[in-house]
Structure 1
């Protein structure tokens, strides 16, 4: 007899307790840590899957946006995917993800993003690599920029609106940045029991040009500044960013921060001493092909048309031919056309963000197209490398 699986969008208090235990065990966290995470997300954003009436697993959905070529595309981030050990390997995880995607499609969500614990599961559901998350590090002795051109002001309240405004100014310029969920802001700015979070505005109080949010740690006999979040909106702010960190060299050995795989901040450094300490790729799923292609931005000056034939075994409305017309930085989509560029929903995710070029995707067997369609796709989707500073 096939076990009965039930996907639930309205999660009651008892279900949340069970999910907290499952998530805690899955991510090697304490009960209080997993409970705190679930509360920060909001119970209305939790989803569980039950087998024969018992909670077998669940996940958190984070409604937010992703900045792509200057436009914030509505996006749902997926976090805290956990399946109880006794139910693993029985198809519960893929059923959970597929049900969640069908729910997102019904709600007209264009795209979904997650960080995979395993790519195989999420590829089965149509996700694919779409952008980078990199942690950099440098010794404070190697920075050697000691005179900040701008002043720094300590921030008493890290929940202040000016931080959100400065972040948005930077975010809309970075391909792949998040239009953040409140739980991400909370995690970046909240001090913990053994950790204090500090914040500094860069520039004048009434006209700041950036900020730094950081905490300090002692790891394996090394003292470290962990930059939790940063914004620099001018050359002076970039110089002040590095000068501020260099002036910690008497007590701090090294600094870590999140940035792109090619970090323009390091251009200010005297030598190539900054290194990528950790790098991984997040995955994206096109949930609604029409909405995803219409709502992202496109480079000004590009005026062309692309005929796609998309294969999607799960969300069958995407399993169709589409014509994407791009002009004046915007895209229009209609069904039909010649279907010259043949691509599955996974390959479309990598193409959509520009992580890989159409030519590279063709070599990898992710798409097939004549040269004219490849050229149009290259014009439309080639961009700066997509990345984000947030992990969720």
Structure 2
């Protein structure tokens, strides 16, 4: 089925409007919005699939990185996957994904992540649930934190470079957080005609300890403060963040922010008045088993050897046995071994990101292992539950 499709990079400017029209229809966007999106992401990052020279769909590839075990792993984000309605069900979508993954593997990028509109398609391509993105909400009046030990200084005009280093210091400690593409940073400060984005450094100019980027909104007679991005590197910064937000209580009814499913910011609050407004689960695909395992970080005091047997129906080089040797926080991979822990490439994703333990994955029936291998894998992949604040 895949042989009837031709896969390529978007190179012709006249094709931008054609692909944009397909994506507008797929995502219920206003006419022209997707073409504008393509230009923001960059034509060089768009991939298209044709049948008989006719564009039938495409997607965006966004080169980034993700942090796992304190180490940056190169990652290709996949976004805006769309197929024209008349070509759905023909195999065009899975062909598009398979071609893209083969290209990512050839580029030497170890992992790929995306937000799915449907899991079934991406599971066929080897993706699986790997982390969460939660939107939290709290009544402003219930925050009740008054002490603010650090000043907050407005950043006017907003200079994103001010925030890069602070963000990276926090992100590297959290499994799944992005090493962001410039497109993601621009999305954070993008505003519509009727809104304004505000940015504040937490701490002094010579020693900032965090930041908050926010906007104010009104909907259905309710006002809310949207925290578009935040960093708190110290307890004083976290306390000052909440105090600053609480000071909006005279005009703002609700505060919304993005965090983990079990969010540490909630621990500072006097009562459990927060609720999850929405939660999305992103998927990950291990594209190159050897590189993915070697790029990731591991518990620094652990010395262990894990024998894996991976099944991958798409990328033959992954369909093999591997020995992962962990020492001093780093991993080394060689081919071979006894294959004491057997799993599909899909199930490797939530194990790799620390979303689920090997014991939990065993319940799915798609992971088989000896007790020794289960214990070893639990230690090797122990870590912070993965999440990211960003959508792409």
Interval of TM-score (by shorter of Structure 1 and Structure 2): over 0.9
Counterpart in 2 of 1:48? 48
Matches within 5 A, 1:107-118: 107-118=107-118
Structure 1 position 35, deviation (Å): 2.1
Counterpart in 2 of 1:24? 24
- Find the aligned partners of 1:173 and 1:382 in 2 and give their Cα distance: 13
- Find the aligned partners of 1:55 and 1:194 in 2 and give their Cα distance: 36
- Find the aligned partners of 1:381 and 1:160 in 2 and give their Cα distance: 33
Counterpart in 2 of 1:161? 161
Matches within 5 A, 1:293-312: 293-312=293-312
Secondary structure (helix, strand or coil) at the match of 1:31 reads coil
Structure 1 position 36, deviation (Å): 2.3
> What stretches of structure 2 of length at least 5 have no aligned partner?
none
Structure 2 length normalisation: TM-score?
0.98
Structure 1 position 10, deviation (Å): 4.3
Structure 1 position 189, deviation (Å): 1.2
- Asked whether the equivalents of residues 2 and 92 of structure 2 are also in contact (C-alpha less than 8 Å), the reply is no
- Find the aligned partners of 1:284 and 1:101 in 2 and give their Cα distance: 12
Shifted more, 41-50 versus 25-34: the winner is 25-34
Counterpart in 2 of 1:136? 136
Q: Does 1:315 align with 2:315?
A: yes
Shifted more, 271-280 versus 116-125: the winner is 271-280
Matches within 5 A, 1:335-374: 335-374=335-374
Structure 1 position 191, deviation (Å): 2.3
- Asked whether the equivalents of residues 3 and 51 of structure 1 are also in contact (C-alpha less than 8 Å), the reply is no
CA deviations over 1:187-208 (Å, ceiling 9, x no partner): 1012222221110111112211
- Find the aligned partners of 2:89 and 2:144 in 1 and give their Cα distance: 53
- Find the aligned partners of 2:130 and 2:347 in 1 and give their Cα distance: 9
- Find the aligned partners of 1:9 and 1:367 in 2 and give their Cα distance: 37
- Asked whether the equivalents of residues 11 and 48 of structure 1 are also in contact (C-alpha less than 8 Å), the reply is no
Structure 1 position 21, deviation (Å): 0.9
- Find the aligned partners of 1:232 and 1:32 in 2 and give their Cα distance: 38
Structure 1 position 147, deviation (Å): 3.2
Structure 1 position 114, deviation (Å): 0.2
- Find the aligned partners of 1:36 and 1:170 in 2 and give their Cα distance: 32
Counterpart in 2 of 1:202? 202
- Find the aligned partners of 2:33 and 2:346 in 1 and give their Cα distance: 33
- Asked whether the equivalents of residues 136 and 256 of structure 1 are also in contact (C-alpha less than 8 Å), the reply is yes
- Asked whether the equivalents of residues 342 and 368 of structure 1 are also in contact (C-alpha less than 8 Å), the reply is yes
CA deviations over 1:237-293 (Å, ceiling 9, x no partner): 111111111111111100110001111111111101111111121000000000000
CA deviations over 1:299-334 (Å, ceiling 9, x no partner): 111110011110000001100010000010000000
Aligned residues: 392
Q: Does 1:238 align with 2:238?
A: yes
- Find the aligned partners of 1:207 and 1:30 in 2 and give their Cα distance: 44
CA deviations over 1:78-117 (Å, ceiling 9, x no partner): 0111111111111110000000000011111100000000
- Find the aligned partners of 1:370 and 1:255 in 2 and give their Cα distance: 47
- Find the aligned partners of 2:30 and 2:300 in 1 and give their Cα distance: 49
Counterpart in 2 of 1:38? 38
Secondary structure (helix, strand or coil) at the match of 1:200 reads strand
Counterpart in 2 of 1:84? 84
- Find the aligned partners of 2:341 and 2:9 in 1 and give their Cα distance: 37
- Find the aligned partners of 1:224 and 1:365 in 2 and give their Cα distance: 44
Structure 1 position 3, deviation (Å): 8.0
CA deviations over 1:347-377 (Å, ceiling 9, x no partner): 0111111111101111111210110111111
- Find the aligned partners of 1:310 and 1:84 in 2 and give their Cα distance: 34
- Asked whether the equivalents of residues 7 and 50 of structure 2 are also in contact (C-alpha less than 8 Å), the reply is yes
Provide the aligned C-alpha RMSD in A: 1.3
- Asked whether the equivalents of residues 140 and 254 of structure 2 are also in contact (C-alpha less than 8 Å), the reply is yes
Secondary structure (helix, strand or coil) at the match of 2:216 reads strand
- Find the aligned partners of 2:2 and 2:329 in 1 and give their Cα distance: 51
